[in-house]
Amino acid sequence: MSSAEPTVEHASTGPVKGILRRIRSWEGIGLFLVLVTLYIALSIASPNFMTLDNQLNILQQAAFFGIVAFAMTLVIVAGEIDISVGSMAALSSSLLGVFVVNLGWPMWAACIVVLVCAASVGAFAGWVRAVFGVPTFIATLALYLALRGLAQLLTNNFPLPIDSSKFFYWGTGRIAGIIPVPAIYLLLMFIIIAVVAQKTVFGRSIYAVGGNSKSAELSGINVRRVRISVMVISALAAAVTGLLQSAQLSSGNSTIANGLEFDAIAATIIGGAALSGGKGTVVGTIIGVIFIAALLNGMVLLGVNPYAQQVVRGAVVLIAVLVNVLRSRRATTSL
Amino acid sequence: MKSTDTPVLECTSLSKSYGSVTALDGVSLTLRAGEVRALLGMNGAGKSTLVNLISGSQRPDGGTIRVDGEDVNWAKPGDARAGGIAVVHQEFSLVPGLSVAENITLGRWPRRKGTGFIDTRALEDQARRALSLLGETLPLWIDVARLPIAQQQIVEIAKALVGDPRVLILDEPTSALNVNEVQALLALLRRLASRGVAIIYVSHRMKEIPLVADTMTVLRDGREVQTLGVSEASPEKVAALIAGEAGKTAAQIEHRDRQDQKVVLAVRDVRLPGVLDGVSFDLHEGEVLGIAGLLGSGRTELLEGIYGIRRDLVGEVWVNGTAVRRRSPRRMLKRSLGMTPEDRKGAGIVPMLGVGENILLSARGRVLPKFWITSALEATTARATIGALSIAASSADQPIGTLSGGNQQKAVIGRLLAAKMSVLLLDEPTRGIDVHAKGQIYSLIRELAVAGVSSIFVSSELEELSEVCDRVLVLRDGRIQDEVLGANATTERLLTLAMKEGN
């Protein structure tokens, strides 16, 4: 319980102590240590793990679900969920193929139209949630099926090859021959979404809506707009991922991004977000993203049976959820 | 049925303390079969404690309880149920997805022998029997959520009747019902009493008591004041008994008359079917206006309607001289009118966010920048509010859910102040907080009034109104029935007016 003592700010003596205190009070510290442990273990187990090349590989892999995971963090903090991201990515890729290959549109125009389509679908899901109270789990479950089906319908389930070396570069190129371009996207999106979450009125409103929507509404926050916006952001992130994978594969493809929703949600949960809303950080999520990417990469390097890899992924998510639950329970009992 | 000579329930000098607070001090109560006893008293008089002791949810510190002449000592509510005491609580405890029959028999579903399957026929029989005790028939397999509130209340009571209790306790059973439904419920209780069930009826509604009760017991400050027959009790007499000596005088504060100031909020002929029937009043600049009314009198609905949380309220609301149509919290906040909800935990705070952020929720985009957060500015605003309201928190980052109720409430009021609101609608701002914090909230509201902020103060604790308000309106039967100036607003007077029989 709170004491009746007057508030005294701890006088910070110098920047070093301030940083130290910040690190100590940082909730993600445990997660960070787990990540470090994983890195040490994998480095010992496989000599190829801790090479620069492999680490950049991990970043490139991470980009394919990390961008969605950051957006997913906002969705989950708002108390919603989006399981249609994989299908949205596939639809975006297919649309791109149809626009560029079948209709002969210029690449930039096709990309813009794809993003607009994605935003509309996201807005639709958010609208159904905000106005009719249909849970986003159900709304996006429907989209999960429908969007993938639409993608397959558009392409007949065949890849539509896009012949553009420039476009290929945006997916797999390396800056100065070293840094993979997708890694740049990953970091850029991380910065943008983390800043939005922490530093904008909109971002903080997401936390208020997810934490107690009733209170947010009474405080004059536009709850509907927040709910619709997070779904739009999520759909846009999925579309960007779809475009990125199209670039990597040089084709519009309706079979990509299977299970994208799993990795994105898993990274968010591992990063400490609560599915009940109101809690979670983008910084936590990027650690979750790197954790999953490193784990997958490490298991491949170690030659783990692919089926066993799935078991491990499932187990990791379950453990992460349990840790979160136990931690929040400890927090509430200590009140 | 036993002879009516042996009391069904006999409580002798029951006492109960919580820490240093004595909630119940030597209360005795004797109840005969078929008797309906009304239990009256202000909040904190000890009604709930008495009910909790009799129903076994708490154990007495001293005194004895006898059922049918035998001493009982219950460790948990289940024991009391088995011993023939059933309680219908104010909040519904029905499970929405289950049927009427399943709800009535909840927790005691009969099984087919040796299996885990429910014996549907036995279940139906139990449910039907409980309903027939009430003389009611309801469709047994309909989802209980699809019934109207009044019928849900019947299911609630039927649930308590499974297992033939000797004593039935009802805690404010009519607060959610309208006039006709109340009549039906009271008739039903009389019928039940005529079958020999003893009933304890907790209610504030003076009108209902002569219709249903034979006798009444008045509690004040944990003691029994008097037990009397309903025929000897006039509303004035009962009000005096409930309020006691302290209720005869208004609190000694400087009540000002602000009615010459400009009108900041005007409400005209506001209606809500079944609840409000044409309410009009003015709120002046710097005035604290109290609204007195019993539970279910429509106080909360009135505030929610003004603030635009509920859209089913018809009538006009003028803020600073302009009529506001299609009201919503956002629109009202734009006009500098804010509200603090009654349900602090569920609708007031965002528990996992810091005190500072909770304070800033309404200020952002209004007095603070719309898009980018300026950390320094936010920190200053939050700290200023925390300081001004002397909220006890280790820092602005401390999650508000970890603070005491009083500090949470101050922060919720602080949210309106940080957003520079000039008209405050405060719905039960002191509910569930300790005496010290209550005092702080009273003086806060007074200080704000001096600074020109107007407030509407709604409270079911009438003694509070005389402490803070310049003027008190009495809401009864959906209308403003009386207006009392702060200096004359004694608890006794307000209580008499609020309970009075309508014409």
A57, B12, B19, B54 from B31: Cα distances, Å = 81, 12, 30, 12
In chain A, which stretches have pLDDT less than 70?
Answer: 1-27, 330-335
Which of A3, A5, A7, A213 to substitute to test the interface with B, most B CBs within 10 Å?
A: A7
Closest Cα in chain B, distance from residue A239 (Å): 26
Q: Give B312 to chain A, closest Cα distance, Å.
A: 17
**Greatest mean pLDDT among B451-455, B484-488, B494-498:** B451-455
Q: Return the pLDDT at B163.
A: 81
- Would you say residue A7 lies in a domain? no
Task: Give the pLDDT confidence of B103-160 residue by residue, as tens digits.
Answer: 898 877 888 887 778 888 998 999 999 998 888 888 999 888 888 888 888 898 898 8
B326 pLDDT above the threshold of 50: yes
> What is the DSSP code string of A231-281?
HHHHHHHHHHHHHHHHHHHTEE-TT--TTHHHHHHHHHHHTT--TTSS---
Shortest Cα distance from B427 to chain A (angstroms)? 13
Q: How far apart are the first and last CA of chain A?
A: 6
Domain count, chain A: 1
B340 to each of A218, B284, B301, B455, how far by Cα in Å? 8, 19, 13, 11
pLDDT of res. A24 = 56
| pLDDT at residue B468 greater than cutoff 70 | yes
pLDDT one-digit tens code per residue, B351-391: 989 999 999 999 998 889 988 888 899 999 999 999 999 89
Assess if residue A141 is contained within a domain.
Answer: yes
- Has residue A220 been placed in a domain? yes
What is the model's pLDDT at position B1? 44
Cβ <8 Å between B392 and A5:
yes
The whole-number pLDDT of residue B274 equals: 82
Testing the interface with A: which of B300, B335, B353, B434 to mutate, by most A Cβ within 10 A?
Answer: B353
In order of A164, A269, B57, B241, B304, the CA distances from A265 in angstroms are 33, 6, 43, 62, 38
Residue range(s) defining the domain that contains residue A213: 31-36+47-333
Q: What pLDDT is attached to residue B252? A: 60
Does A4 contact B372 at a Cβ distance shorter than 8 Å?
A: no
How many interchain CB pairs under 8 A, A with B?
A: 102
3-state secondary structure of B36: strand
Structure tokens, B294 = 């019993």
| A26, part of any domain | no
Cβ A241 vs Cβ A260: under 8 Å: yes
Q: Tens of pLDDT along B222-275?
A: 899 889 888 888 878 888 888 877 666 666 667 677 888 999 999 999 999 888
Ranges of beta strands (E only) in B134-197 are 167-171
A222 CB neighbours in chain B (<8 A) are 330
User: What pLDDT score was predicted for residue B328?
Assistant: 94
Q: Tell me which chain B residues have a C-beta less than 8 angstroms from the C-beta of A216.
A: 350, 361
Could you read off the pLDDT of B12-55 as tens digits, one per residue? Answer: 999 998 877 788 899 999 999 999 999 988 777 888 889 989 98
Query: What's the pLDDT at B413?
Result: 95
- Quote the pLDDT of residue A18: 61
B440 touches chain A (CB under 8 A): no
Which residues does A contribute to its contact with B (CB < 8 Å)? 1-7, 9, 198-205, 207-208, 211-212, 214-222, 278-279, 335
CA B326 to chain centre: 29
Point out the residue among B307, B371, B403 whose CB comes nearest to the CB of A200: B371
The per-residue pLDDT for B2 is: 44
For residues B371, B373, B374, B377, the Cα torsion angle rounded to the nearest 10 degrees is: 100
Supply the DSSP string of A22-53, one letter for each residue. HHHH-TTHHHHHHHHHHHHHHHHH-TTTTSHH
Percent of chain B with pLDDT over 70: 95
For A220, left (φ over 0), alpha (ψ -120 to 50), or beta?
left
Asked whether B198 and B35 are in contact (CB, 8 A), the reply is yes
Please check whether residue A175 lies inside any domain of the structure.
yes
**Given this model, what pLDDT does residue A332 score?**
54
pLDDT(B424) > 60: yes
pLDDT value at residue A11: 41
Express as a percent the part of chain B with pLDDT over 90.
42
Q: Is residue A9 part of a domain?
A: no
B352–A contact, CB cutoff 8 A: yes
Pairing of strands B263-272, B276-284: antiparallel
Q: If residue B104 lies in a helix (H) or strand (E), which one and from where to where? A: helix B100-104
Q: Where are the beta strands (DSSP E) in B255-364?
A: 263-272, 276-284, 288-292, 314-319, 322-323, 337-340
Q: Which domains does chain B have, with CATH numbers?
A: 9-248 (3.40.50.300), 250-336+423-433+453-503 (3.40.50.300), 337-421 (3.40.50.300)
Residue numbers in A near B348 (CB within 8 A) = 215, 218
pLDDT, averaged across chain B: 87
Q: Nearest Cβ partner of A278 from B350, B375, B398? A: B350
In a domain, A170, yes or no: yes
Is a pLDDT exceeding 50 seen at residue B187? yes
Phi, psi of A286 (to 5 degrees): -65, -30
* B392 to A2: CB separation less than 8 angstroms, yes or no: yes
Rg of chain B's alpha carbons, rounded to an integer? 25
Residues 374-433 of B with CB under 8 A from A: 375, 386-387, 390, 392-395, 398, 401-404, 407, 415, 419
b (16+ CB within 10 A) / e for A115-152: bebbbebbbbbbbbbbeeeeebeebbeebbeebbebbb
Would you call B436 helix, strand, or coil by DSSP?
A: helix
* Alpha-helical runs (H) found in chain A: 14-25, 29-45, 52-77, 85-97, 107-132, 136-155, 165-172, 181-199, 201-211, 213-218, 223-249, 260-270, 282-301, 306-333
Contact: B350, A212; criterion CB under 8 Å? yes
Taking CA–CA distances from A215, the nearest residue in chain B reads: B347
CATH code (residue A138): 1.10.3470
Is A2–B395 a contact, with Cβ atoms under 8 angstroms apart? no
pLDDT (tens digit, 9 = 90+) per residue, A6-16? 433 444 445 56
Taking contacts as CB-CB distances below 8 angstroms, the residues of chain A near B404 are 1-2
Give the angle A204-A208-A210 at the CA atoms, nearest 5°. Answer: 115
Q: B78: closest CA among B108, B61, B56, B106?
A: B56
The reply to whether A107 falls in a domain is yes
Of B349, B371, B393, the CB nearest to A2: B393
Q: Give the helix/strand (H/E) hosting B49.
A: helix B47-54
